[in-house]
Chains A and B, each alone.
Chain A
């Protein structure tokens, strides 16, 4: 049993609980930084992919997990960021300008979406953003002079302050670029949640009416949340474009939006850890399944069989399992295990029992 003694007021405010926790995360950071030396190129690429997904997940997590606005259309913002980045680089802008600009412009696009969407609640907002995601596909095709339409666009190596960075030519540098961006976003996110703005997001999530009563400007909180969320999504999209190298209107389709939402639900809504855990599931599930298939084929002495759609099917089943048995996701389960370990001799039965709840309608007729 580990007890954190509080000896100062800063302890409640600072991002880490105690030195032990801080050192754990520093060890993790060092290990991940050194990944190019202890991982082969294939798995390094996969890890890069996971980090990019985690970043996109953090973008959505801010909006859905912390502000309670469900978006089924974040692929549209990923696409916006990706194309903005590519177009700016093609126009001759250096990466150091194009990349931040991609995020900021996506954030502005997000605000222009958020303003009409402010009146929508829960499921209606989800539908609104879903339609947006479907429309983005068509918009990319229509804006062919800029986006290359169905033919798509290619994005090769970029140069950052004289260093060439590319997914295939220098996978280690690209990995560090992604890692740096992800760490910056994560630190910003942690800080945001400590600040009044982040607290107001959470207040809006838990009850809009109560938040309003406490003096939170609900519309402003939602708009800012949309802006920040889309900015992060834009950066993630730009990195996704660089990761895949080639992309067209179908790269960021509706299914990507849906998958992103399902990912953060699996990871655990309302926690930064959840974005990373969900990204690990999404990133490594295909590898895991192909290894399992080989294993099964060897066991039954049969040839390897191709099952189309296996990944999404398994993904769906995992998700159903989580929502039914662990609505707080992987991170929620880990918190329960950790609490149980920390309190070990003093745990009670039913400590984590879910409260029974009844639904009341918002309709009046």
Chain B
């Protein structure tokens, strides 16, 4: 029973990692760029919701603050693309990566400026409620996190597989010039993807803030989500979720069964092992490199 409890909390944690990893993969799948600022966007999403919903700030009802903050995050994602990323169109992956690292620095600074550096928690209707399933006591917020994540991953998966826009996004990422010839508005597609990544970051941020406290350096957790995305393999949405869940589940078990000090090493050690033996992740999409 103890292990089951650990498993569920690990799964809930892993879902948050998975959601951030989804953001990485979304941007990677559609623009072939890696967005190192995703963790910081997640932190910003949490703070925007806190700013709207907490009684200390605006005090809007939770269910109104939710769509508003997601809208804000989506608009922000679109603006980031419009103002910054679009100028980097066609530049190398590494340049965009460095750019997003710098964006993360700036986002962290701005969040610290507005909301300060003390930890905040989101006041939500989930807090303090329990769900009992056959002797297991689960926090309402854990259940909400797991349900929302699974739903979102499925929606995005179907979106990329079935809809015209999703296919256009894949095409635009694989060969920008060819996508142009096929009549795909590559730049507009990119903007949409970034908006989507902003919304995903917002959802991740809200779920994170529901379960624990956030402060501006929470965004550095993105590194762990990054490990999740790599373990799953960039470019695969279910892979990202699986990677997140693996990292999330391993963490509580490692801290229980492995001596203190060694336990926090495990996710990164796993990342290194995966990278060494399967350099492109468990759900790899790269087969050969072209000139």
Q: Which residues of B pack against A, CB within 8 Å?
A: 32, 34, 84, 87-88, 90-95, 97-99, 101-106, 108-110, 112-113, 117, 173-177, 180, 216, 220, 223, 226-227, 230, 234-235, 261-262, 264-265, 268-269, 271-272, 275-276, 279-280, 285-291
Interface assignment of A315: CB less than 8 Å from any CB of chain B: yes
Q: Which residues of A pack against B, CB within 8 Å?
A: 70, 116-117, 119-124, 126-128, 130-132, 134-135, 138-139, 141-142, 207-210, 254, 258, 261-262, 265, 307-310, 312-317, 319-320, 323-324, 327, 356-365
> Could you tell me if B285 and A313 are in contact, using CB atoms closer than 8 angstroms?
no
**Smallest CB–CB gap between A267 and chain B, Å?**
13
> Could you tell me if B106 and A313 are in contact, using CB atoms closer than 8 angstroms?
yes
CA distance A131 to B265 in the complex (A): 10
> Could you tell me if A123 and B93 are in contact, using CB atoms closer than 8 angstroms?
yes
Assuming the A-B contacts A262-B98, A356-B90, are A123 and B265 also in contact, with contact meaning beta carbons closer than 8 angstroms in the complex?
no
> Could you tell me if A119 and B102 are in contact, using CB atoms closer than 8 angstroms?
no
* Residue contacts A-B, CB under 8 angstroms, 30 given: A117-B276, A121-B289, A123-B34, A124-B279, A127-B226, A128-B272, A130-B226, A131-B272, A138-B265, A209-B291, A254-B223, A261-B98, A261-B101, A262-B98, A308-B112, A309-B113, A309-B216, A313-B108, A317-B102, A319-B99, A320-B84, A323-B95, A324-B99, A356-B90, A358-B90, A358-B177, A362-B289, A363-B286, A364-B286, A365-B285
Contacts of A317 on B, CB cut-off 8 Å? Answer: 102, 106
Excluding A316-B106, A362-B286, A363-B174, 9 further A-B contacts by CB distance (< 8 Å) are: A122-B93, A123-B93, A127-B275, A138-B264, A210-B291, A261-B98, A313-B108, A324-B87, A365-B287
CA distance A131 to B271 in the complex (A): 7
**Smallest CB–CB gap between A226 and chain B, Å?**
15
> Could you tell me if B275 and A120 are in contact, using CB atoms closer than 8 angstroms?
yes
CA distance A327 to B88 in the complex (A): 10
> Could you tell me if A124 and B106 are in contact, using CB atoms closer than 8 angstroms?
no
> Could you tell me if B279 and A361 are in contact, using CB atoms closer than 8 angstroms?
no
Contacts of B226 on A, CB cut-off 8 Å? Answer: 127, 130
> Could you tell me if A320 and B99 are in contact, using CB atoms closer than 8 angstroms?
yes
Contacts of A210 on B, CB cut-off 8 Å? Answer: 291
Nearest residue (CB) in B for A210 is B291
CA distance A323 to B174 in the complex (A): 24
Contacts of B87 on A, CB cut-off 8 Å? Answer: 324
Contacts of A131 on B, CB cut-off 8 Å? Answer: 227, 268, 271-272, 275
Assuming the A-B contacts A122-B93, A135-B268, A357-B91, are A323 and B112 also in contact, with contact meaning beta carbons closer than 8 angstroms in the complex?
no
Instruction: Give the most central of B34, B84, B105, B108: most A CB within 10 Å.
Output: B105
Q: Return the contact of A134 from the options B112, B174, B223, B276 (Cβ within 8 A).
A: B223
CA distance A308 to B108 in the complex (A): 11
Contacts of B223 on A, CB cut-off 8 Å? Answer: 130, 134, 254
> Could you tell me if A124 and B230 are in contact, using CB atoms closer than 8 angstroms?
yes
> Could you tell me if B271 and A127 are in contact, using CB atoms closer than 8 angstroms?
yes
Contacts of A128 on B, CB cut-off 8 Å? Answer: 271-272, 275
> Could you tell me if A359 and B98 are in contact, using CB atoms closer than 8 angstroms?
no
**Smallest CB–CB gap between B120 and chain A, Å?**
16
> Could you tell me if B101 and A258 are in contact, using CB atoms closer than 8 angstroms?
yes
**Smallest CB–CB gap between B58 and chain A, Å?**
24
Contacts of B90 on A, CB cut-off 8 Å? Answer: 356-359
**Smallest CB–CB gap between A155 and chain B, Å?**
24
Nearest residue (CB) in A for B279 is A119
